[in-house]
Amino acid sequence: MTDRLAVVSGGGTGIGKAIARELAEAGHRVVVIGRRAEVLEAAAEEIGADRTIPVAADLTDPAQVSRVAERIAELGPVDVLVNNAGARITQPTDDSLAALADSWRQDIEVNLMTTVLLTTALTGRLRRPGARLVMISSAAGQRGGAGPHSAGSYAAAKAAVHGWALGLARQLGPEGITVNVLAPGYVADTEIFGESWTPEFHAAKIADTLVGRAGTPADIAAAVGYIASPAAGYLTGQIIGVNGGAVLGR
Ligand SMILES: NC(=O)c1ccc[n+]([C@@H]2O[C@H](COP(=O)([O-])OP(=O)(O)OC[C@H]3O[C@@H](n4cnc5c(N)ncnc54)[C@H](OP(=O)(O)O)[C@@H]3O)[C@@H](O)[C@H]2O)c1
């Protein structure tokens, strides 16, 4: 059994599951975290129960994150941490400021605080030197995103991950740890769009790209696989778009 350990939040579905598979195939034991135990168990069966460790937790809750960190501490130092858990919160339910505040706070909780809490809880457990930290943000964090399918708070929460991650790269670089952000463009075949997904939305997102197709979870997983590889030791403090050309040059 390999002693390399990876942790993937939101590893039970979509992009996170593809990342967990990629890292397992590259020789890691992979801890997958999400709120739904049965979804994580199914992902572990799919990827390989001998190398996938499901840990059910709500990563917006500090007490649950502490318990996750205790469980991971039993498994050894963390070589790769991928903060992928996130969600697009539906628009405010009415025009009140209270509804707006509720919607913004949920977006910040699930897209920013999950990352901040899990990373902070595991920073002391990262392998030194050599660990790789990856945050999955979004093209929305680079170019904004407000409209019928995307609340502006989602873009703002993802952009906040950028600023925080860059400071962390500066802090952890001298300890031999790289920190990078992957900002995916549109990726089909995940749970994130739920009932808001329509064929028209899909077509518009494809039209936005230069390569004329939707991204796949495997596209994002391949980029994480590179960042986690020995070849990527000189790559840190970057926001890397994987978006089919929907956002250019940054
Ligand atoms: N698909 C796209 O077009 C796209 C584009 C840009 C960025 N992204 C980003 O990519 C990441 C993965 O999204 P996806 O498209 O693969 O969607 P997804 O299938 O909905 O994956 C989100 C994952 O996060 C987990 N999660 C959500 N809230 C959580 C919480 N409070 N605690 C622990 N786990 C939580 C979910 O599991 P549970 O529900 O079981 O907790 C789920 O496994 C997200 O950060 C998303 O913002 C996606």
Structure confidence by residue, pLDDT tens digits, 87-115: 988 788 899 999 999 999 999 999 999 99
Active site residue 154: yes
Residue 121 domain-assigned (yes or no): yes
Question: pLDDT > 90: what percent of the chain?
Answer: 92
3-state secondary structure of 88: coil
Cβ of residue 54 lying under 6 Å from some atom of ligand 1: no
Cβ proximity of 56 and 39 under 8 Å? no
Residue 117 domain-assigned (yes or no): yes
Tell me, what's the pLDDT at 149? Answer: 53
Out of 87-96, 151-160, 162-171, least confident range: 87-96
Residue 250 domain-assigned (yes or no): no
103 is written with which tokens?
Answer: 């919607």
3-state secondary structure of 136: strand
Q: What is the 192 CA–ligand 1 centroid distance (Å)? A: 6
The CATH number that applies at residue 72 is: 3.40.50.720
Ligand 1 atom closest to the CA of 186, numbered from 1: 3
Q: Residue count of the chain, please give it.
A: 250
Residue 249 domain-assigned (yes or no): no
The answer for residues whose C-beta is within 8 angstroms of residue 249's C-beta and 6 or more apart is none
pLDDT at 68 over 60: yes
Cβ of residue 241 lying under 6 Å from some atom of ligand 1: no
Torsional class of 144: left (φ above 0), alpha (ψ -120 to 50), beta (otherwise): left
Tell me, what's the pLDDT at 89? Answer: 82
Residue 153 domain-assigned (yes or no): yes
Q: Work out how many domains the chain is built from and give that number.
A: 1
Q: Which of 84, 100, 168, 156 is nearest to 131 (CA)?
A: 168
Residue 65 domain-assigned (yes or no): yes
Task: Show the domain range for 120.
Answer: 5-242
Tell me, what's the pLDDT at 1? Answer: 46
- Tokens 């001998």, located at residue: 50
Tell me, what's the pLDDT at 13? Answer: 98
pLDDT at 2 over 80: no
Q: What is the 157 CA–ligand 1 centroid distance (Å)? A: 14
Residue 247 domain-assigned (yes or no): no
How far apart CA 243 and CA 121 sit, in angstroms, is: 30
Tell me, what's the pLDDT at 191? Answer: 94
Tell me, what's the pLDDT at 151? Answer: 66
- The DSSP code sequence of 33-73 is EES-HHHHHHHHHHH-TTTEEEEE--TT-HHHHHHHHHHHH
Q: Please give the C-alpha separations between residue 237 and each of 26, 102, 148, 166, in angstroms, as whole numbers.
A: 23, 32, 32, 5
Q: What is the 12 CA–ligand 1 centroid distance (Å)? A: 9
What mean pLDDT do residues 26-42 have? 98
